[in-house]
Chains A and B, each alone.
Chain A
Amino acid sequence: MRSHIGRRQFLVTGTAAAGVLAAPPLLRRAWAQGSGPIRIGVPTAITGTWAALGAQVVRTCKLVQKEVDERGGILGRKVEFLFEDTQGNPANCVRKAQEMVERGKVNLFTGIMASSEALAVSAKLQEWNAFFLSAINGAGELTAEKYVPNFFRANTSGPMGARTIALYLKDAPEKTFYAIGLDYAWGHSSVGVFEKEIQRAGKEFTGKVFAPQGTKDYSTYITRIRQANPNGLYVAMTGDDATAFYQQAAQFKLGEKIQMVTELVDILNLKPGGEATLGLVGSSRYAFSIDTPENKAFVKRFEAEMKEVPDTFDGEQYQALQVLFKAIEKAKSTDTAALIKAMEGLEVTSVKGKVVMRECDHQGSQQGFVVKAVKRQGFAYPVPEVIRTYPADVVTPPCRKSSYS
């Protein structure tokens, strides 16, 4: 067939479209951060592979905003969240954050999705005189090699999750392990720590493979794993990638011979996996079944509003905001320097128990949880149940380290 538009024009239009995709949205109105409401920037993944996780961040922020309103604000000021879509892309994330700083006079950030985004934003914080409290980002280096004073992490990091599950597996019957991770900062960080820790536990680590974000077909990776034939498979995947992987692994009956363990057990992935994910064991950053009074109250409130139980990043975002508000109250200000000072050494009892924001590297020292996907009454899908808890001092890495040796 003959064509009037040639290949060249096709390529040009394609490139142009990609450019339009990346272009900034309409300019936003400018705000001034004064004594009015406390404005918190949440540049997160509202569309793209991590949209479902971004939705957790957004809904929990909205719930917290309601709670704060009910108790009369923080320092008598209301809280306002500014949501922007980054699609999980570091360049987008930096641009959106910069817009918030310059036009919105925002100096507080949280809810950023990917570690690659967090690393990009973290590098700009001092220039912007801004403060960023991670609720999600797992890459170990954020509080180690890439430490910056304006960055704090309230959540369990990738290395902490990997360490927790490795400690648990020490007593497990499985002898050999293989690992699959998503091919970006967090996946590498998590698999790297797991490899070291599982060897320290006296097991054999037989190999690893990394799949790019947005992989559609996991069959080659599954073939590779099957050929390696380990007793256990460590999975460091999240979002829609994890859902697709578990679904395809079940179709290939991978779990029949190999015990799958993971750094992150999310209800989001258990739901579509159905029966196939029953019995999945993993460390958990947050599970609704954690047995603390604070968590029970949170789950009750959450269920009343959302008609479902909170998932991993609901809990993590909630904890991070509790930590942030405690620091603002202690500092009696939202000024960046004052907040950093207030945050260092801050101790908060949150939904996951006690969190201490360490002065030396700004990592939140906290317990590690191991969960198992089980059937539970009232749920149509497997849910995570806490089967083991490890104390903060074994789980949290040494200061400014992303490994444990």
Chain B
Amino acid sequence: MGLTAFLVTQGLNAAALAALLFFISIGLTLIFGIMRIVNFAHGALYMLGAYTGFTVALLTGSYWLALIGAPILVGVLGLVIEAVVMRPLYRREHGSFLLVTFGLALVIGEAIRLGWGPEPRRFELPEVLAGSVTILGEPFPAYRLFLAIFGAVVAVALWQFLERTRLGLLVRATAQNAEMVHALGTDVHWIRAGVFALGCALAALGGVMAVPLVTAYLGLGVGIVVDAFVIVIIGGMGSFVGSVVGSLILGVVQTFGNYYLPDLALAAVYLAMIAVLVLRPAGLFGQRE
């Protein structure tokens, strides 16, 4: 394998991993930005997305329907959670959200164990994604390429939504000053609920996307949510650009770090986080406390 081929394929691997991390960290950061909630149930929702995707694929026989169906279903569940569990708590202090979302994570995790059982689950990819493509003489899984491109498409679409649409403007305004937006005649409740559901749907999308790599299994949400928290801290809490850049940094650090220093595989991510926090305590794109 030549150096160019090595750098290109590793770069693509990093991008694919970054895409996966982006799906989960963006939901976390959006929810934090607008609701000031650290959603500990996010990993569980990601896992739920993976299992829901498995079931949709099993019932319909279509990967594409799973890719669309799981985020919608989990997004709807997000709406219900927001309305039933979160809304009564908005006037309380943040500690109660910690407990509630943490409890939700346990409930969802246990529900998955009871509903789907402990065996790992997977579905078949459609022909076009199941094969591999040759990149500079090296076989590279078509699915990883799809993952990287799809991640970029979703990131750009979300960015356009936040920056260019009226609804996106309201979302940003609510993040800045919810009371003012409310006073100006917009129902902030709906914006909160919508963003929470969107965050849940994006986590579920990440979950479905993860299945062809790691299968849907019971520990799925645990490891990745830690990475997502790290990304949110590196990028700056509540920052969209921070979440994109943070995901890319983590993707590159994990991919190249594992290659050159496999003994530091676990530490690399935290070393990156420490380095960022020392240089910019509020994260790369965050604002000082």
Q: Enumerate chain A interface residues (CB-CB to B < 8 A).
A: 1-11, 13-14, 16-17, 20, 46-49, 51-52, 54-55, 183, 209-212, 214-217, 219-221, 223-224, 226-227, 240, 243-244, 247-248, 251-253, 268, 271-272
Contacts and interface: CB of A to CB of B under 8 A. Distances in A.
A264 to B, nearest CB: 16
Contact of B94 (A5, A183, A268): A5
Contact of B282 (A7, A211, A240): A7
Quick one: which of B17, B95, B144, B217 has the most chain A CB within 10 A?
B217
Contacts of B222: 48, 214
B254 interface: yes
A292 B175 CA distance: 68
B237 interface: yes
A5 B217 CA distance: 33
B109 interface: yes
B9 A223 contact: yes
5 contacts: A47-B109, A48-B219, A215-B265, A219-B255, A220-B259
Contact of B139 (A183, A217, A252): A252
Interface in B101-151: 102, 109, 113, 117-122, 132, 138-141, 143-144
B239 A10 contact: no
Contact of B215 (A16, A243, A253): A243
B229 A14 contact: yes
Contact of B255 (A211, A220, A226, A252): A220
Given A6-B289, A17-B40, A243 B258 contact: no
Given A3-B238, A220-B255, A244 B233 contact: no
A20 B13 contact: no
Contacts of A54: 118
Interface string B211-244: 0111101110011100001001100011100000
A217 B213 contact: yes
A210 B143 contact: no
B120 A243 contact: yes
Given A7-B237, A220-B258, A248 B219 contact: no
B215 A272 contact: yes
Nearest to A245: B214
A404 B180 CA distance: 75
A240 B219 contact: yes
A216 B282 contact: no
Interface in B235-264: 237-239, 254-256, 258-259, 262-263
B265 A211 contact: yes
Contacts of B217: 49, 51-52, 240, 243
A198 to B, nearest CB: 21
Contacts of B109: 47
A51 B262 contact: no
A251 B119 contact: no
B33 A268 contact: no
Contact of B223 (A13, A183, A216, A271): A216
Nearest to A214: B223
B173 to A, nearest CB: 10
B41 to A, nearest CB: 11
Given A3-B286, A20-B102, A244-B214, 8 more contacts: A2-B175, A13-B38, A55-B119, A217-B13, A217-B16, A243-B120, A247-B122, A272-B215
Contacts of A271: 119
A212 B175 CA distance: 38
A51 B176 contact: no
Given A7-B281, A212-B265, A243-B120, A251 B141 contact: yes
A219 B255 CA distance: 8
B22 interface: no
A45 to B, nearest CB: 9
A2 B6 CA distance: 41
A10 B13 contact: no
Contacts of A17: 40, 98, 102
A210 to B, nearest CB: 7
Given A13-B98, A220-B13, A253 B36 contact: no
Contact of A221 (B38, B232, B258): B258
Contact of B214 (A13, A216, A220): A216
Quick one: which of B10, B210, B263, B265 has the most chain A CB within 10 A?
B265
A2 B255 contact: no
B238 A1 contact: yes
A7 B223 contact: no
Nearest to B6: A223
Nearest to A59: B118
Contact of A247 (B119, B213, B254): B213
A220 B12 CA distance: 11
Contacts of B263: 210
Contacts of B122: 247, 272
Given A49-B219, A224-B259, A10 B237 contact: yes
A299 to B, nearest CB: 19
Contacts of A9: 94
A211 to B, nearest CB: 7
Q: Across chains A and B, which 3 residue pairs bring their CB atoms closest together, nearest first?
A: A251-B141, A1-B238, A6-B289
A264 B232 CA distance: 38
A3 B215 contact: no
A283 to B, nearest CB: 22
A350 B175 CA distance: 66
Quick one: which of B120, B224, B259 has the most chain A CB within 10 A?
B120
A243 B98 CA distance: 33
Contacts of B210: 216
Quick one: which of B118, B122, B286 has the most chain A CB within 10 A?
B118
